[in-house]
């Protein structure tokens, strides 16, 4: 499988459809003496979830990176410029048929290159605590937990969920 990561400049590819993912556990972060750690709670039953499609409008202020097999977009990363020295990884997705082949990691590496080019501190993103596969993916790719928000979903159908903030700094030795 030959995958190429490149900048996307069209409306169609930035609207790669969302696909279901497994919900099999929860990451429970904890902060002690200024250092984040976590435990994992496995669910008795596995379920699936699928986020609604976003219907993005192409915006020159965002950075769109696509993973391509030949000319077919199979993965997407969207970075937003933020007021801080981090780029915000607003969306990361890989077509389900291509998951577990390192494509998400390649997209993260490309995001880090974009942050370095722009002399940013790094990138950050948010993962729902019950999307354990995504949370573990970020940690495996060198992110660290940097925050937790258990208020975002109050008053919504997702009231029992929380957001975990993940940060990855650029390598200053490179």
* Domain-embedded: residue 100: yes
Sheet holding 86-94, edge to edge: 3-7, 62-69, 72-81, 86-94, 122-128, 163-169, 144-149
On whether the CB atoms of residues 76 and 95 are closer than 8 A, the answer is: no
* Domain-embedded: residue 19: yes
* Domain-embedded: residue 71: yes
Instruction: Check which CATH number belongs to the domain holding 164 and give it.
Output: 3.40.630.30
Per residue of the chain (174 residues), give pLDDT as tens. Answer: 799 999 998 899 999 999 999 999 999 999 999 999 999 999 999 999 999 999 999 888 899 999 999 999 999 999 999 888 999 999 999 999 999 999 999 999 999 999 999 999 999 999 999 999 999 999 999 999 999 999 999 998 888 899 999 999 998 654
pLDDT of residue 28: 98
Four-CA torsion 10, 100, 167, 164, nearest 10 degrees: 100
Instruction: Find residue 86's DSSP bridge partners.
Output: 122
pLDDT of residue 95: 96
Range of the domain at 165: 3-169
User: Which run of H or of E encompasses 114?
Assistant: helix 103-117
pLDDT of residue 102: 96
Q: What is the largest CA-CA distance in the chain?
A: 49
* Domain-embedded: residue 36: yes
Q: Which two tokens stand for residue 143?
A: 């992110």
User: Which run of H or of E encompasses 140?
Assistant: helix 132-140
Neighbours of 138 (CB within 10 A): 25
d(CA 7, CA 13): 10
Give the three-state DSSP class for 78.
strand
d(CA 65, CA 3): 13
pLDDT of residue 172: 64
8-state DSSP, 24: E
pLDDT of residue 173: 56
* Domain-embedded: residue 154: yes
* Domain-embedded: residue 174: no
Domains contained in the chain, number: 1
* Domain-embedded: residue 160: yes
pLDDT of residue 82: 84
d(CA 86, CA 80): 9
């Amino acid at each position: 499988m030959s995958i190429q990561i490149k900048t996307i400049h069209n409306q169609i590819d930035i609207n790669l459809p969302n696909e279901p993912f497994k919900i099999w556990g929860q990451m429970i972060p904890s902060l002690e003496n200024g250092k984040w750690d976590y435990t994992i709670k496995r669910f008795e039953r596995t379920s699936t979830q699928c986020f609604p499609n976003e219907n993005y409008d192409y915006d020159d202020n965002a950075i769109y990176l696509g993973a391509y097999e030949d000319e077919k977009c199979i993965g997407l990363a969207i970075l937003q410029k933020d007021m801080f020295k981090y780029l915000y990884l607003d969306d990361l997705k890989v077509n389900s048929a291509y998951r577990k082949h390192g494509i998400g990691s390649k997209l993260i590496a490309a995001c880090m290159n974009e942050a370095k080019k722009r002399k940013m501190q790094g990138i950050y993103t948010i993962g729902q605590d019950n999307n354990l596969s995504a949370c573990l993916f970020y940690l495996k790719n060198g992110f660290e937990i940097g925050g937790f928000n258990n208020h975002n979903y109050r008053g919504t159908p997702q009231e029992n969920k929380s957001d975990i903030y993940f940060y990855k700094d650029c390598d200053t030795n490179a």
